[in-house]
Amino acid sequence: MNDTIAAIATPYGSGGIGVIRISGPKAFDLASKIFSKTKIQPEGYKNLESHRVDHGYIFDAKNKDIIDEVLLIPMKGPRSYTAEDVVEIQAHSGTVVLRTILNEILSHGARLSEPGEFTKRAFLNQRIDLTQAEAVADIITAKSASALKIAASQNLGALRNQIRELREKLIHFLSLLEVTIDFPDDVDPFEPSQKEKDMIDHVLEKCREFIKQHDDACFLKEGIRITICGAPNVGKSSLMNRLLEKDRSIVTAVPGTTRDPIEEGLNIDGIPFVIIDTAGIHQTDDLVEIIGIEKAKDHITASDLVLYMKEPGSVFSDKEFEKVVPLGKKVIFVINKIDLQEGNLPELSEKYQHIPRVEISALLNNGVKELKQKLVNFCIADLDMGNSTIIPNLRHKKALEQTVESLTAVKAGLTQALEEEMMAIDIKNSIDSLGTITGETASLDILDSIFNNFCIGK
Ligand SMILES: Nc1nc2c(ncn2[C@@H]2O[C@H](COP(=O)(O)OP(=O)(O)OP(=O)(O)O)[C@@H](O)[C@H]2O)c(=O)[nH]1
Ligand SMILES: [Mg+2]
């Protein structure tokens, strides 16, 4: 972290403004070599004042040409994104102009940053913890209002504060234990009070709560996967297009039109969904269709909710349904083409009366709005998040599970009056597991896997 890094921080391509970011001990020195407030070549412009915007020009040192007219924002560490000296240059956004400025900076001794290196430095300089660093990536990739809300609250330290509080409680407990281990002759054997036992229960309960919150609500980040399935020609692709409000899937009167599954994101009331249109499922010898049907079944298995579609004149059969939809899967029974005045509408069998049933006409766009509302209600019905915006990610969940495992052993140790040394090991493990969430005890592998997923310049 002794070197100075630089990168283009905004997306490539044409735009109003493009930002180049420099961070490290030489950031100010370097900026002063290429920046001038006048149109005269800089000779080491020294008056860079922290947290003040300067207007001026970036020069090409070799040809003494002006590359671009810019705004320059110097920020002295630790009051900066990385907590180091940072300079941000706002130039015009075009691939060539930004690259030319970046090359100029690199030629003066900066190094091109690695993906996520600015945020990694902010973490290593302890300006943010690991959950906040992860939230930065989540904010950038948020696909819905709810995902953004969760990421923003994590970025402000909501999860960090909770985890740190639990960890401190355990550290206090460990210190009591260690006194008796280190000074067995001076203090009485460790005798946990009810208060300490309650504390372990409280931490356990909190960890389990966070795990449940992950399980209940991780779809708010990833999107709820909904697969539309049914026999050929029932109108699956027509419904897909209606839901998306665009012609995404090919619709024809020819049965077997859709072969490859078609997947597309959709946002309803700020909740992200992923809708998947699939090949019609039926008995066939057509090799391409057979593969399409296999893929359809894989998607059905992997989805959070299935839209099982039938048309008037057909019959709902338990056997047929069970061949397609795995046991326990959430399903909505969709009857399409209700505008047709031919044939009776299929009814759910006795066994499946509990499945919600919706009647629509994808052709005339009838009932689709109601179906969308049902999708929202159905997916969040048994979700009781209260006002909590703390949703641990999969990495956090795994660490919480390890914490629960260690603390369960501690709890057993307390009732069985296990040796203090053994209990201390379990407590230490739980403290370490919680520490991987905030980054206090995270290994280099964990850090690499987190920051390598960032873009360059972030
Ligand atoms: N009358 C009527 N026709 C519909 C309705 N929805 C779809 N269709 C028609 O039914 C035919 C099949 O529609 P698709 O959406 O391609 O059906 P699909 O289930 O995707 O068919 P495959 O991809 O072949 O499995 C087309 O001619 C549509 O115009 C509807 O609500 N009412
Ligand atoms: Mg289709």
232 C-alpha to ligand 2 centroid (Å): 7
Proximal ligand: closest to the CA of 312? 1
φ/ψ bin of 24: left (φ > 0), alpha (ψ from -120 to 50), beta (otherwise): left
The tokens describing 351, both together, are: 């066994």
Q: Measured between alpha carbons, how far is 128 from 451 in angstroms, rounded to an integer?
A: 14
pLDDT, tens digit, 9 for 90 and up, residues 12-27: 888 899 999 999 999 9
Nearest protein Cα to ligand 1, atom 1:
337
Residue 362, ligand 1, Cβ within 6 A? yes
Residues 6 or more apart from 281 whose CB is under 8 A from it?
229, 230, 231, 232, 293, 296, 297, 324
Q: What is the pLDDT of residue 64?
A: 82
73 C-alpha to ligand 2 centroid (Å): 54
pLDDT, tens digit, 9 for 90 and up, residues 246-275: 999 999 999 999 999 999 999 887 778 999
Residue 237 has pLDDT above 60, yes or no: yes
The tokens describing 306, both together, are: 């299935």
φ/ψ bin of 116: left (φ > 0), alpha (ψ from -120 to 50), beta (otherwise): left
Q: What is the pLDDT of residue 192?
A: 78
314 C-alpha to ligand 2 centroid (Å): 18
Q: Measured between alpha carbons, how far is 320 from 279 in angstroms, rounded to an integer?
A: 16
Candidates 340, 319, 369; CA nearest to 234 is: 340
276 C-alpha to ligand 1 centroid (Å): 16
Q: What is the pLDDT of residue 389?
A: 72
pTM (global) more than 0.75 = no
pLDDT, tens digit, 9 for 90 and up, residues 311-346: 999 999 999 999 999 999 999 999 999 999 888 999
Rounded to an integer, the average pLDDT of 198-216 is: 93
Q: What is the pLDDT of residue 384?
A: 47
Residue 385 has pLDDT above 70, yes or no: no
Residues 6 or more apart from 428 whose CB is under 8 A from it?
174
Atom of ligand 1 nearest to the CA of 280: 25
Residue 286 has pLDDT above 90, yes or no: yes
Which domains are present in the chain? Answer: 5-113 (3.30.1360.120), 135-217+391-451 (1.20.120.430), 221-380 (3.40.50.300)
User: pLDDT class for 388, splitting at 50, 70, 90?
Assistant: low
Residue 7 has pLDDT above 50, yes or no: yes
Atom of ligand 1 nearest to the CA of 366: 31
Helix (H, G, I), strand (E, B) or coil at 155: helix
Residue 298, ligand 1, Cβ within 6 A? no
The tokens describing 225, both together, are: 């996967």
| Contact (CB, 8 A) for 338 and 312 | yes
Residue 235, ligand 1, Cβ within 6 A? yes
Backbone angles phi, psi at 23, to 5 degrees: -145, 135
Instruction: Give residue 141's identity as a one-letter amino acid code.
Output: T
Backbone angles phi, psi at 80, to 5 degrees: -150, 175
Atom of ligand 1 nearest to the CA of 231: 25
- Given strand 262-268, what is the order of strands in its sheet? 262-268, 271-277, 224-230, 305-310, 330-335, 357-359
Residue 236, ligand 1, Cβ within 6 A? yes
pLDDT, tens digit, 9 for 90 and up, residues 29-69: 999 999 998 888 766 667 789 999 999 999 998 878 899 99
Q: What is the pLDDT of residue 190?
A: 75
* Mutation choice for ligand 1 from 228, 233, 276, CB with most ligand atoms inside 8 A: 233
Rounded to an integer, the average pLDDT of 288-298 is: 95
Count of C-beta atoms within a 10 Å radius of residue 355: 17
> What are 154's strand-pairing partners?
none
* Mutation choice for ligand 1 from 334, 335, 363, 368, CB with most ligand atoms inside 8 A: 363
For the chain, what percent of residues have pLDDT higher than 90? 69
| Residue where the block lists tokens 């057993």 | 412
